[in-house]
Amino acid sequence: MSFAGDLEHLPIVDVIQLLHSTRKTGTLCLKSQKGESQLVFNDGYIVSANHVQNNVRIGQILVEMSAITPEHLEEALQRQERDGTGRKPLIATLIEGGQIDRQVAFAGLETLIEMTIVEVLTWNSGTFALDVDATVTSDEYRYFPEILKQEIQLNTQNILMDALRIYDEKMRDGTLGEGAFLATHDFEATEQNGIITADVLGLDDLDKLDKKIPDVFLGLKEYDVSEIHRQRIREAVPDLPPDDQNRLFTLLREYSDETPSASPATDSPAPPLAVIVFSNDPFITHIVSTVCRHEGLFVFSTDDATNLDPIVDQSLAKELVPLLVIDAPLEADGPFSPGEIQDLLLRKREKYPHIVILQLVAPRDCEFPLLALQAGVRSVLARPVRGKQHALFVENSAKFLKTFQLTLQKNYVSSDQRILRCFKDCICELDSQRSLPEMAFVVLTFASAMFERTLTLVVRENQLIAEKGFGIRGDKSSGATEAMLFNVPLGEPSVFQDVLKSGRYFYGQCNDAVLSTHLHARIGTPHSPKMMLMPIKALGRVIALIYGDFGDMAGSPLQIDLLDIAARHAGLLLDNSLYRKRYLASAQKSNQNTPQS
């Protein structure tokens, strides 16, 4: 297995494009509650496929295309049945009978691949795995004519685009169902399978195809997490006593059955992690992926170092934070030897200076952790290693699962990255708002990412009215408070008066008497005298202030200019909304005053 992940984290279209751009060869197995489908790639191009549950087949497609009649299909199927085990592929039979030519066979192949892709586009959950060994030695490739491979390769991108077009049309028309798009007909009941391979096409040496092509695909089965846990345990430690296997299974089931752990409270939602596992150990890959899914994180795995850069680039393009997990160097030679792993760490740190890397090591390895830390990894974790002491393997597995879970719950996003993301969210959210209360709340929410306590103060004649806030009556992670509705008088000179008159924000230490007497007396005096007042203006006049302080915390450097930009953007949107209302009111009044002819 060289590349695996979850469809809800990386949609099938992205998977296909990634495999095409990296020119992968292998069978892409897609699994979900709806069943299984496979797409076969050769040098990055789709060369065959089988539709989910085999309910769309090549004979059916040819009838739908009006390439053959149901009578022609029935006749070919009866001929196959008479030939028994020596029968030729269906399309070989149809070509020999003169019902279709090679061009029609190509069109049927493309249609079935399109229908397979359209079907899996509806899958919102499930898994994908590229098996690079499934097709290399398969008989189907030895029977594929070179001209057929070239034809398919030339049209691979078109197949994907046509599938997306069909999908969009069905979404638009409301005809996109839960299952297949074409109904299964009884006359296809005797067709062998739905795989578009030499067994179906048979366009090379038709008379010589006298042996059965083996089916390289797995049978359909229900996606069972428990059975997958047991299978991985049996494969990893086949000599583990039954009691220890059950302990290990129970441990893994706990990470499958429990709800995701509550992440530590943060000032604002951090960009989600994309955990990328580099390992050739199926058991380590499985338990790491199990913990990641338990924590609700994106997870991908590969045993091919050339896959890492495309996956990291794909994660960054989706605004995810890549977290690279490198397996322990347990081999003397090859990609998982100490020298190769150290070189890999240095290359990744050079290409992606900000990437977070976790290095796994053997429990008693005291040398490589130092080399890994010198190469720039964030943390070193001891992983379980199979040995003669079975109970110790189970115990180490339990420790690793818990340690890895706690490691994932750390915040791997810098403060600057977090604030920039919040700023982007704020600007996007402002563009969808129209009223002052809505826009003020968006700016207030952004301010709460920088300050422990924030409060909206609405300007009303000679006073300020306290509205919603964060962190005023509890921790800010509990959400916004209701409108507090106390007032701050504006009759005396104060920092509030200065901001209202100048229209510019204030950020710094302040011992203003009005501030302490009328605001801090109601919400509590902060530990640090450093505070902020950010004006929101409309039509050149300040109509609200956003107050912020650090509560019980010490002050820290902030990107106040970003908050100023957000407040100014809100003011421009308010101006635009007010001018629009005035224009519409004027136009309506003008129409009312215009005499009817």
Residues β-bridged to residue 29: 38, 129
399, two tokens: 């420790």
Q: What share of the chain is helix, strand, coil (3-state, %, to 5)?
A: 50, 15, 35
Running DSSP on this structure, what letter comes out for residue 520?
Answer: I
- Measuring CA to CA, which residue among 434, 425, 414, 386 is closest to residue 570? 434
28 and 124 in one domain?
A: yes
Among 413, 444, 478, identify where a domain stops: 413
Residue 595: inside a domain, yes or no?
Answer: no
Q: Which CATH number covers residue 390?
A: 3.40.50.2300
Residue 590: inside a domain, yes or no?
Answer: no
Q: To the nearest whole percent, how much of the chain has pLDDT over 90?
A: 37
Helix or strand (DSSP H, E) at 544: strand 541-549
What pLDDT, on a 0 to 100 scale, did the predictor assign at position 207?
A: 36
Residue 166: inside a domain, yes or no?
Answer: yes
Highest mean pLDDT among 175-184, 190-199, 365-374: 365-374
Q: What is the pLDDT confidence band of residue 154, given thresholds at 50, 70 and 90?
A: very low
Question: Collapsing DSSP states into helix, strand and coil, what is residue 563?
Answer: helix
Residue 106: how many other CB atoms lie within 10 Å: 17
318 vs 330: which has the higher pLDDT: 330
167 and 305 in one domain?
A: no
Q: Which CATH number covers residue 508?
A: 3.30.450.40
What pLDDT, on a 0 to 100 scale, did the predictor assign at position 146?
A: 44
49, two tokens: 């496929």
Cα 295 from chain centroid (whole Å): 14
Range in 310-319, 340-349, 462-471 with the lowest mean pLDDT: 310-319
Beta strands (DSSP E) in 3-88 are 3-6, 26-32, 35-42, 45-50
- Measuring CA to CA, which residue among 285, 280, 279 is closest to residue 252? 285
C-alpha span between 251 and 245 (Å, rounded) = 10
Residue 216: inside a domain, yes or no?
Answer: no
Number of compact structural domains in the chain: 3
Residue 271: how many other CB atoms lie within 10 Å: 16
Among 365, 394, 413, identify where a domain stops: 413
Residue 462: inside a domain, yes or no?
Answer: yes
In our burial notation (b when 16+ CB lie closer than 10 A, e otherwise), range 497-529 reads eebbeeeebbbeebebebbeebbeeebeebebb
421 and 399 in one domain?
A: no
Query: Which residue range(s) make up the domain with 362?
Result: 225-413
Residue 213: inside a domain, yes or no?
Answer: no
Sign (positive or negative) of CA dihedral 9, 11, 12, 18: negative
Q: How far apart are the first and last CA of the chain?
A: 80
Distances (CA, A) of 499 to 214, 459, 490, 493, 547: 79, 12, 12, 11, 11
460 and 428 in one domain?
A: yes
Residues β-bridged to residue 300: 5, 276
Owner of token pair 């839960």: 178
Residue 219: inside a domain, yes or no?
Answer: no
Residues 6+ apart with CB under 8 A from 300: 3, 4, 5, 9, 10, 274, 275, 276, 277, 311
423 and 407 in one domain?
A: no
Q: Mean pLDDT, to the nearest integer, of 562-571? A: 95
Tell me: pLDDT of 504 over 90. Answer: yes
C-alpha span between 477 and 422 (Å, rounded) = 15
435 and 385 in one domain?
A: no
Tell me: pLDDT of 181 over 50. Answer: no
Angle at 383 between CA 377 and CA 388, to 5 degrees: 150
356 and 309 in one domain?
A: yes
Residues β-bridged to residue 129: 4, 29
Residue 3: burial class (beta carbons within 10 Å; 0-12, 13-18, 19+): buried
Q: Please say whether the beta carbons of 490 and 508 come within 8 A.
A: no
What pLDDT, on a 0 to 100 scale, did the predictor assign at position 450?
A: 92
Tell me: pLDDT of 186 over 50. Answer: no
Residue 217: inside a domain, yes or no?
Answer: no
556 and 430 in one domain?
A: yes
121, two tokens: 């586009």
- Kindly write down the DSSP assignment for every residue of 339-400, as one continuous string: HHHHHHHHHHHHH-TT-EEEEEE-TT--SHHHHHHHTT-SEEEEPP---S-HHHHHHHHHHH
464 and 390 in one domain?
A: no
372 and 303 in one domain?
A: yes
213, two tokens: 């092509």
Among 383, 413, 443, identify where a domain stops: 413
157 vs 60: which has the higher pLDDT: 60
What pLDDT, on a 0 to 100 scale, did the predictor assign at position 158?
A: 66
Running DSSP on this structure, what letter comes out for residue 261?
Answer: P
Question: Collapsing DSSP states into helix, strand and coil, what is residue 4?
Answer: strand
pTM over 0.75: no
560 and 433 in one domain?
A: yes
Q: Please say whether the beta carbons of 199 and 213 come within 8 A.
A: yes
298 and 444 in one domain?
A: no
Tell me: pLDDT of 180 over 60. Answer: no
- Measuring CA to CA, which residue among 102, 107, 123 is closest to residue 35? 123
Q: Mean pLDDT, to the nearest integer, of 196-214? A: 36
What pLDDT, on a 0 to 100 scale, did the predictor assign at position 305?
A: 92
Sign (positive or negative) of CA dihedral 472, 478, 483, 484: negative
What pLDDT, on a 0 to 100 scale, did the predictor assign at position 52?
A: 57
> What angle in degrees, to the nearest 10, is found between the helix axes of 390-408 and 282-294?
40
Please report, as a single letter, which amino acid is at residue 181.
Answer: F
Q: Please say whether the beta carbons of 553 and 452 come within 8 A.
A: yes
C-alpha span between 286 and 163 (Å, rounded) = 32
